[in-house]
Chain A
Amino acid sequence: MGYVAVKGGTKAIQASVRMYKDKQHAKGFEIEVAHIKANMNQLINQIMSEASLYDRDLAALSILQAEGNMEEAVFLLRAHRSTLPRLYYSTVTNTRDMFVERRVSASFKDIPGGQILGASPDFTHRLLDDDQSFTGMHDEAVEASYTYSLDALPKVIDYLEQEGLFTKKPEDDNEPDDITKQTIEFPSSRSERLQSLTRGQTGAVTSLGYAEIRGYGYSSHPNIGEVRVGQQPMHIDPYDTGDAYYIGDIELTEVEAFMPADEDEMDDTGSTEKTFKIGYGLTFGQNETKAIAMSVLDYSLEHPVGNAATSDDEFVLLHIDSVESTGFISHLKLPHYVTFQSVLDRVRQTKGGDGQ
């Protein structure tokens, strides 16, 4: 009986929680939230993105509390998010106003504004660095000089548009759906898809995006028109006066992926022209792989192919959320003996045993 006694469960649980908490603190090696915030930027980025809560301090706290466990840290932040009243929406913000810290195009060698590598591990050698020569502090910061205005860089997509290779969709000024206030109903809207993708689990979004381009869906290579990382100014207009308040910057990663595709309509001569369509990715923090995968999935859900799972909004959106997938999988640890008794009864029945 042990596990679910008539009495005693409470004590056992309290003891288990205590053991877990005791284990967390290795005496003499405790670290503080400030250390995590200062040193674990990329982990913080990933957690804020999956939690859809932009708060570096709370993300650092969640990492400490979760012993560095991603799913637990995301879970802590999401739960905290549920306690906060939603007071305002930010006003529309344009990523052309982003203060760019990093920006690369894989499609063109020379882009107006230039390639800006910024800070990235892309070109490091992944050699374990046991004398910490790489991660150690450098006394002098890298000086970057630049002639463009970093908060008004042109976009690579403009070039394609000028060439007539990309047709902008008409602007959609409908109020976006908010998946945290209204659950997604299918068929989903694009705003629901983008929100769901951007808070998706990094690994899940990446895997599905990978499947889409590897062989189950679009099955071809998109071209990254531009990936940019930088500080995006945010404003709110609580009294709807048109005179918005600046509330701060958030770090974002934005991806525009070019997908060669057929024009939707045939031209005058009745033949089909090729054009570029776009997949869009946007995440909190520097999360480049996820943002690229998101752009692939945004495209695959906008332009479904056959029976590909990655073209099916229900399949993608209902399975990429970290809190949902880890929660349901882990609940299998809970006792299920009432239902199992019921299963036993039916299995025995088919065996002609004591079911009847």
Chain B
Amino acid sequence: MRQNYAFLDENSKKEIRRKTLKAISIPGYQVPFASRELPIARGWGTGGLQLTLSLIGQADILKVIDQGSDESVNAVNIRRLIQDTTGVTDTIHTDEATLIQSRHRIPEVPLKPYQILVLQVPLPEPLRPVEPSERITKQLHADKEYSGAWLRLFEQIMRYGSITDDADYPVLVGGRYVMAPSPIPRFDNPKLEGNDGLILLGAGREKKIYAVPPYTTVTSLAFLDHPFEVESFDDVTCRESGLTGVYMDELIDETTGETYYMTNDTSYMIEEMNKEGSVK
């Protein structure tokens, strides 16, 4: 069967781009869009994929990662679909890419002005844990009524002695909208702030697009006496590369039974290791 360039019909792509422009104009605000079904399953990255497909031009250079890896099963699958329908060049090098689609990570290499980072979002509504109804959460955002989000964190402190939100830790964008940053680890939250590049977030099943434009203020919700904390890898070194201060995967050595750590962003690790005079 004949396929369109970038799979979707042109009118669908145009609609997605219009909604994207609206999202960029209102940082952190979730813009509803008529999410299309794709050959990839709902919940497997269709929001991000629709953004990518609507934006990708023949001159773009594409990078797709999942769990920090270019070779993760879903990244491979998504990249193959995009390439099969567009024929664009791909890369694993973050700097070379013009369009980066990612699930669960913001790369270690800072974004450049010519780059768009597309994040796949499973649950776009940061208030969903405190309010199941969409029509009410929409109202709460309109009223900037975020006590539920704050109380949730407060109750965690009361109950556990510390904030227990793990990944997808809520942020306040541009001092206005509380936003779910997609399930990136807390480690990546600070990378949302004041970027040179554009960050777009797409939720296919929940049919929302939102954005963090360049140079936007993004702060993670926290209290003065309970500041925001990222995952701690302070005493940890990457066994492969000797890198520190990056997000790590925790692994078990099959022969010794020992726990060891490895840099999660694999392309970054390879680049660092290939540099002259690298740590290892």
Q: Interface residues, chain A, CB within 8 Å of chain B?
A: 1, 3-10, 12-13, 75, 78-86, 179-183, 185-187, 314, 318, 323-324, 326-331, 334-339, 341-347, 349-350, 354-356
- Let me know if B104 and A336 touch, CB within 8 A: yes
Within 8 A of A (CB), among B218-256: 229, 231-232, 247-251
Given contacts A13-B77, A75-B41, A346-B164, contact A337 B249 (CB under 8 A): yes
B271 at the interface (CB under 8 A from A): no
Does chain A have a CB within 8 A of B3? Answer: yes
B183 at the interface (CB under 8 A from A): yes
Known: A181-B15, A183-B207, A350-B164. A327 touches B41 (CB 8 A): yes
In the bound complex, what is the Cα–Cα distance between A83 and B75 (angstroms)?
22
Q: Are the C-beta atoms of A338 and B38 separated by less than 8 Å?
A: no
Contact of B38 with A79 in the complex, beta carbons under 8 Å: yes
A81–B160 CA distance with the chains assembled, in angstroms: 49
Q: Which of B67, B163, B186 contacts A337 (CB 8 A)?
A: B67
Contacts of B42 in A (CB 8 A): 323-324, 326-328, 331
Q: Per a CB cutoff under 8 Å, which of B33, B104, B168, B251 touches A1?
A: B251
> Which 8 residue pairs spanning A and B have beta carbons closest together?
A327-B42, A331-B43, A9-B71, A328-B43, A78-B37, A327-B41, A186-B135, A342-B166
The answer to whether B247 touches A338 (Cβ under 8 A) is: yes
- Residues on B lying within 8 angstroms of A by beta carbon are 1, 3-4, 7-12, 15, 32-39, 41-44, 46, 66-69, 71-77, 104-105, 122, 132-135, 138, 160-168, 183-187, 205, 207, 229, 231-232, 247-251, 264, 266, 269-270
CB pair A342–B186 under 8 Å, yes or no, is yes
Asked if B32 and A183 sit within 8 Å, CB to CB, the answer is yes
Contacts of A13 in B (CB 8 A): 73, 76-77
- Say yes or no: A85 contacts B11, CB within 8 Å: yes
> Which of A9, A81, A318 is in CB contact (< 8 Å) with B37?
A81
Known contacts A345-B231, A345-B232, A356-B232; decide if A181 and B73 are in contact (CB<8 Å). no
- The CA-CA distance from A85 to B136 in the complex, in Å, is 34
Q: Which of A3, A85, A346 has the most CB of B within 10 A?
A: A346
Known: A4-B71, A6-B69, A78-B37. 11 other contacts (CB 8 A): A4-B72, A13-B73, A83-B4, A85-B9, A180-B34, A182-B34, A183-B33, A338-B104, A341-B264, A344-B250, A347-B164
Cα A318 to Cα B11 with chains together (Å): 25
- A341 with B10: in contact, given A7-B71, A13-B73, A83-B4 (CB under 8 Å)? no
Closest B residue by C-beta to A3: B73
